[in-house]
Amino acid sequence: MNHEVFDVLVAGGGPGGSALSFRLARAGCSVALLERTAYGEFRVGESLPPRAVESLARLGVWKAFLQTEPGVVYGVQSAWGSAELDSSSFLNHPFLNGWHVDRSRFDCMLNSAATEAGAHVFRETSARTVERDRQGIWLVEAHSPRGQHHFRARFLVDATGRSGQLCARLGIRRHRIDRMVGIAALCPEPVEQDILPSLIEAHPLGWWYSAGFPSGGAIAIFFTDSDLCARRGLAGRDGWSRILNQTQHTRQRLSGCSFSAKPGVFPAGTHRLDRSAGDGWLAIGDAAVGRDPLSSSGIDFALASAERAYQVVQALASGASEPADLYNTELRHDFAVYLSQRHAYYMMEDRWPNSPFWLRRRFGISRATLSLGP
């Protein structure tokens, strides 16, 4: 039993959880940060937009970020609404370029920064149960390869990503807009052609994302709805390859890649919590709001979410009573704006008017009421 009562316990050591822990520890809070991995596995989500410079600089980790050896990219390519390949440049942005990062290395960098700031970091440790005692102290039971652990904290932060594990245990309702999944395969070996820029290509059943890694190799992900994935057998190597071969630009740029392993499937749906903050707790990043990967804002959104959450926690610690309600209101407003932007972008693609995937996004038809067709 850990008898220390932490000011804040953060579950989840992704960019949002580590960034928030870093800020809180630097401000003098006692923080316990639980991360279920040791950052040794591959992590999806390698794109960083130009605006992330400001987030990383404000956090104070810019030099540490550069030491992760990110790959510089100057734009994004897409075949969306047309078979023609279009390129959009970052050169009109003040910071001129974005980056592709090794996500495991990037996340580990932020986690190490939190440790250096004074946070108590527990890697390979996952929260399992959560309850509250009569004094309002959170009691968290966690497991690791070293055994069972018990933590006590005055405030709880769910930064566990799309799973939202802590909020689920607290019974917080989640509103799901869709059931999109990503089906990803890796090419670990360097290839001859330069495929570092991100490429997005629409397909009748969804859309493709592909990009190169700074150290070589590449990733290719097909995004579709979970029921379409199951019905068409897209999670298997043969089904995934069949859909890849139906593309034009993605197939061409990945012609030198060897995707040997079975693709991995991960959730990528749009959702939000009914409430993202309450008495003694809040959720950040994907645990609070899951955005469509089409927005390419995963890391940047997590860092911004951590910065906003830090302000809420600081205000609550000062005795203010309104920050949690304001946090919920702001997130609901932001989500509504995001849905409008998401709808506008999907409306740009009209080549497959009878496709279940595109119909759902154009008209908000649920998969329960839409015939899947042959």
Residue 215's pLDDT is: 73
Q: What is the pTM of this model?
A: 0.92
CATH class of 5-46+102-177+271-334: alpha beta
Maximum distance among all Cα pairs of the chain, rounded to whole angstroms: 63
Domain residues of the chain, as ranges? 5-46+102-177+271-334, 180-267
180-187 β-sheet, strand order: 86-89, 75-79, 198-203, 206-212, 218-225, 180-187, 264-267
- Secondary structure (3-state) at 21: helix
CA dihedral sign, ordered 164, 165, 167, 169: positive
> How far apart (Å, rounded) are the C-alpha atoms in residues 341 and 345?
6
DSSP state of 291: P
Domain 180-267, CATH 3.30.9 — does that match? yes
> How far apart (Å, rounded) are the C-alpha atoms in residues 97 and 160?
29
- Token digits of residue 170: 């607290």
Residue 372's pLDDT is: 39
Per-position pLDDT tens, the chain of length 374: 556 899 999 999 999 999 999 999 999 999 999 999 999 887 887 788 888 888 899 999 999 999 998 888 888 899 999 999 998 866 566 667 888 888 899 999 999 999 999 999 999 999 999 999 999 999 999 999 999 999 999 999 999 999 999 999 999 999 999 999 999 998 877 665 555 678 999 999 999 999 888 777 888 999 999 999 999 999 999 999 999 999 999 999 888 788 877 899 999 999 999 999 999 999 999 999 999 998 777 888 999 999 999 999 999 888 887 899 999 999 999 999 999 999 999 999 999 999 999 999 988 755 544 433 33
